[in-house]
Amino acid sequence: MTHDDFLQFVPYCQQRLDDDPHLQANVLYGEIVELGYDRAYSTFTRALRRHLTRPRCGSCHRGRASPGCGTVEDLRFDWVRLPPPPVEWDSGREVHLLMGSLTRSGRWRAALADTDDLPHYVAALDQVLRRLGGTGERWLFDRTRPVCSTAGKVTAVFHQIAVHYGASIAIRPQMEAPGPVVRAHRSVVLHWWNTAAEEPSVQAAQDSLDRLAERSDRWHRRTGCSAQALLPLPPKPFPARICVQRRVDPHGRVSFEGNFYLLPGLAGNEVGIRRRLDEPHLSVTTTRGAVIARFPRAPRGAGQTVAEHSGPITLERPNRTSGAGARALAAGRTRRPRCRAATDEDQAPSRRDDQQPTKPLARATESRDGSASPARSRFRHRASAPEAAD
């Protein structure tokens, strides 16, 4: 077979690559070998590069702007730890703020987060991007813990997050001082916090922060800063999972993100709440992780009381059957108790042994040729001794 014989497999390979741009070459090689291709793998890869071009993946290259839409802006993120929030907010002992600002136009948006773990960081990042209406082609970060290590290396999980939104990541050098724009934004946030701490809830504080950012946009337009192109966002957020612990109040309600979820009969108990950012519902679990109820998620900060849930509400699951018993239950088989006839058959051998105690011994002492063994003869002699005495 010559190199030109690969041409008969070109339509098949092209269709497979169009269906899956990330299809690995060794997998494709195994498929066409089954179709009759008998050359080596290195020969296949050379022919593949010569005759075909791997198509672009829409998700991976969504972040590349077309030439007609202008220059795409970079997006700088700043993670700020705010002073302790009021007790009425029910957001724990600390609150954080993630600010995202465009490097050319100066527009910015910010979102509040209860803690500094990765799921809350991703939730705040998604809120910032959707408030801006898009994402920049490159994200600029300081050396913050959820994004990179102390050495400045981006974590694998956060790299997947950037790929999900179609952006790349750049880490600012550790010795580089913050620019004047970053310092100005931090000053604005700290001044805002002095008045936002008087708001009745976290959502009210977030609304006041959004109004401040919109007023800042009008100021940038008056100074002549033109808005640059942004890249489109995926329809759903990155599927991070938020897990928090809450205690049910005396009225049987548990608070989460400015709403209440009704759990009758569990007043005073501690429960867990799980929410995946790309799902429209949340789950209530026990402290051990067993799901006890599932609620439709109310809008953040709506102040609603949700009572509709799916599934029974119990604190713990019943004990599971493990091993062979679990496999039997899965197959539809159950263990039944013994019936009376089986019990009688179980006791029958013991009754027969009581009636004929010498029969097993006689068989055991019988020789192979059928004649009685000396042990059996001695047994018969002892049995006939009382008769002789009579």
- Provide the domain limits for residue 8: 3-51
Range from 117-121, 172-176, 224-228, 262-266 carrying the lowest mean pLDDT? 224-228
State the Cα–Cα distance between residues 187 and 76, nearest whole angstrom. Answer: 16
Asked if the structure places residue 312 within a domain, the reply is no
Residues 101 and 205 in one domain: yes
pLDDT given at position 277: 92
Residues 39 and 102 in one domain: no
Residues 141 and 257 in one domain: no
For every residue of 285-332, DSSP letters joined together read: E-TTS-EEEEEEPPPTT---EE---BS---SSPPPPP-THHHHHHHTT
Residues 302 and 261 in one domain: yes
| Mean pLDDT across 338-355 | 56
- Condensed to tens digits (0 to 9), the pLDDT of residues 356-379 reads 555 444 444 444 455 554 544 444
- pLDDT score of 21 more than 80: no
Q: What angle do CA 49, 54, 56 make, to 5 degrees?
A: 155
State the Cα–Cα distance between residues 20 and 290, nearest whole angstrom. Answer: 37
State the Cα–Cα distance between residues 90 and 258, nearest whole angstrom. Answer: 9
The pLDDT confidence band at residue 344, using thresholds 50, 70 and 90, is: low
- Condensed to tens digits (0 to 9), the pLDDT of residues 191-229 reads 888 888 778 888 888 889 899 888 887 766 655 555 567
When divided into structural domains, the chain yields a total of: 3
Quick count: other Cβ atoms within 10 Å of Cβ 232? Answer: 12
Asked if the structure places residue 326 within a domain, the reply is no
State the Cα–Cα distance between residues 149 and 169, nearest whole angstrom. Answer: 14
Please name the amino acid found at residue 193. Answer: W
Q: How many residues does the chain have?
A: 390
Asked if the structure places residue 358 within a domain, the reply is no
- pLDDT score of 276 more than 50: yes
pLDDT given at position 325: 43
Residues 37 and 85 in one domain: no
Final residue before a domain boundary, out of 222, 253, 272:
222
Asked if the structure places residue 77 within a domain, the reply is yes
Residues 107 and 218 in one domain: yes
Asked if the structure places residue 270 within a domain, the reply is yes
Residues 92 and 211 in one domain: yes
Residue 90 is part of a domain; what is its CATH number? 3.30.420.10
Residues 159 and 22 in one domain: no
Residues 78 and 208 in one domain: yes
Please measure the distance between the N-terminal and C-terminal CA atoms of the chain and give it in whole angstroms.
108
Residues 47 and 98 in one domain: no
The proportion of the chain whose per-residue pLDDT surpasses 70, expressed as a percent, equals 68
| Mean pLDDT across 324-345 | 48
- Condensed to tens digits (0 to 9), the pLDDT of residues 137-155 reads 889 888 887 888 877 788 8
The percent helix, strand, coil of the chain (3-state, each to 5) is 40, 20, 40
Asked if the structure places residue 344 within a domain, the reply is no
Asked if the structure places residue 144 within a domain, the reply is yes
Strand-pair partners of 293: 284
Q: What order do you get walking across the sheet with 305-306 strand by strand? A: 253-256, 259-262, 305-306
Asked if 105 contacts 73 with a C-beta cutoff of 8 angstroms, the reply is yes
Asked if the structure places residue 228 within a domain, the reply is no
How many Cα neighbours within 13 Å face the side chain of 217? 14
pLDDT given at position 319: 45
pLDDT given at position 326: 42
For every residue of 197-228, DSSP letters joined together read: TTSSSHHHHHHHHHHHHHHHHHHHHHTT-PPP
- pLDDT score of 352 more than 60: no
| Mean pLDDT across 328-342 | 48
Total-model pTM: 0.62
Residues 76 and 163 in one domain: yes
Residues 27 and 83 in one domain: no
How many Cα neighbours within 13 Å face the side chain of 24? 4
| Mean pLDDT across 304-311 | 77
